[in-house]
Structures are given as structure tokens and as C-alpha cells.
């Protein structure tokens, strides 16, 4: 299944996106945004060739309607999100970052992901002056960093 998002897919609290036992690609359109949501699992699909999209009217909850600005082309964007697990995803070729974890997002696990062919892989905290970004808790484990990656990856320290 190939999904081309015309606008960001805004994931609300207590949701699971599960593509196990299926071949699901989110590509050639906008990416996934988890904004001020908690308890989200995103599992088992490919995210690639993500491009910025125009904003517009949104409904992101039972009683909330509003206007959304243009997106910047992140594969997965966490903005003020809590208790998020990104697992078994494959990401490459986004206009901006593959994964951004910003604006006080915390208790985030990024595990078993496969990253290739991109410049800005992961961003944790976008502003030194935003105090909530200094308190974030992010676990990055068992990921594969493949060919064509340039920056924003974990660095290994050699044993002394």
C-alpha cells in the first residue's frame, strides 16, 4: 500500500499506526506529525521522499478546529509529544529531517529503525533557549545507519 499525504498526518493521543505483515509506504507527499499527543506507537512502515505541504484547515480532536501552517518536510515530527515509540521504520529522502523531536517532547524511544540517503537524520531539541528541550528523555537503540547519511546521527565513543 502506498500512501501519498497531501498534508501532514496529525496523530492524536492513544493511537497506534501498525504496518506489521504489510508493505506500507508513506511517500511522495507530506509526513507524520505527533503534536502535543501522548501514548503513540508508530511501527513497521517506510517513510520516504517527504516534501513540504501547504497548511490549511484541520480537525485534530473532537472539539478542535483550526488553521495549520505549511509543513517543512520532516519524515516524522514530534512536537511537545510524550510517551512515543517509533519502531521498525525505514526512513530516507525527506526535504528536512528524517525525525525531529522538539518543543519538550519526552519519553521517546527510537528503536530498530533503518536510515539511509539523507543529510539531517535526527534532531533532538531545536532551540538552546527552550528549557523544556533540556529535560527531554530519548532512547535511541538498535538502529541501522546505512549509506548516504551526512549528519545528526549518534556518535560512538571509542573505548579508552
Give the tens place of pLDDT for each residue, 47-94: 999 999 988 887 766 777 778 888 999 999 999 999 999 999 999 999
The HSE-up count of residue 123 (CA atoms within 13 Å, CB side) is 21
Whole-prediction pTM: 0.89
Q: Answer whether 9's CB lies under 8 Å from 30's CB.
A: yes
From CA 31, how far away is CA 7, in angstroms rounded?
Answer: 8
Q: Please choose, from the candidates 8, 123, 5, the residue with its C-alpha nearest in 3D space to the C-alpha of residue 70.
A: 8
Say how many domains are in the chain.
1
Is residue 156 pLDDT above 60, yes or no? no
Q: 58: closest CA among 9, 92, 131, 93?
A: 9
Residue 39 maps to a domain = yes
Contact 51, 30 (CB under 8 A): yes
Has residue 156 been placed in a domain? Answer: no
The verdict on residue 113 lying in a domain is: yes
Task: Answer whether residue 28 is part of any domain.
Answer: yes
As given in the structure block, the three cell numbers for residue 75 are: 519524515
Residue at 6 is within a domain: yes
CATH number of the domain bearing residue 54: 2.160.20.10
Residue 142 belongs to a domain? yes
132: domain range?
2-151
Phi and psi, residue 132, nearest 5°? -65, -25
Residues assigned a catalytic role: 152
Residue 160 included in any domain: no
Predicted local confidence at residue 135, as pLDDT: 83
Does the residue 97 lie in any domain?
Answer: yes
State residue 60's pLDDT score: 62
Amino acid at each position: 500500500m502506498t500512501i501519498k499525504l497531501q498534508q501532514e498526518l496529525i496523530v492524536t493521543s492513544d493511537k497506534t499506526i501498525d504496518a506489521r505483515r504489510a508493505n506500507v509506504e508513506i511517500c511522495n507527499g507530506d509526513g507524520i506529525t505527533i503534536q502535543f499527543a501522548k501514548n503513540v506507537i508508530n511501527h513497521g512502515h517506510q517513510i520516504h521522499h517527504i516534501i513540504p505541504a501547504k497548511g490549511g484547515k484541520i480537525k485534530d480532536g473532537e472539539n478542535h478546529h483550526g488553521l495549520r501552517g505549511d509543513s517543512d518536510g520532516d519524515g516524522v515530527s514530534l512536537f511537545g509529544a510524550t510517551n512515543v515509540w517509533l519502531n521498525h521504520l525505514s526512513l530516507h529522502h525527506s526535504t528536512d529531517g528524517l525525525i525531529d523531536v522538539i518543543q519538550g517532547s519526552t519519553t521517546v524511544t527510537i528503536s530498530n529503525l533503518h536510515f539511509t540517503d539523507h543529510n539531517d537524520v535526527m534532531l533532538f531539541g531545536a532551540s538552546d533557549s527552550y528549557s523544556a528541550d533540556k529535560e527531554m528523555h530519548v532512547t535511541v537503540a538498535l538502529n541501522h545507519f546505512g549509506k548516504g547519511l551526512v549528519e545528526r546521527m549518534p556518535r560512538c565513543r571509542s573505548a579508552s
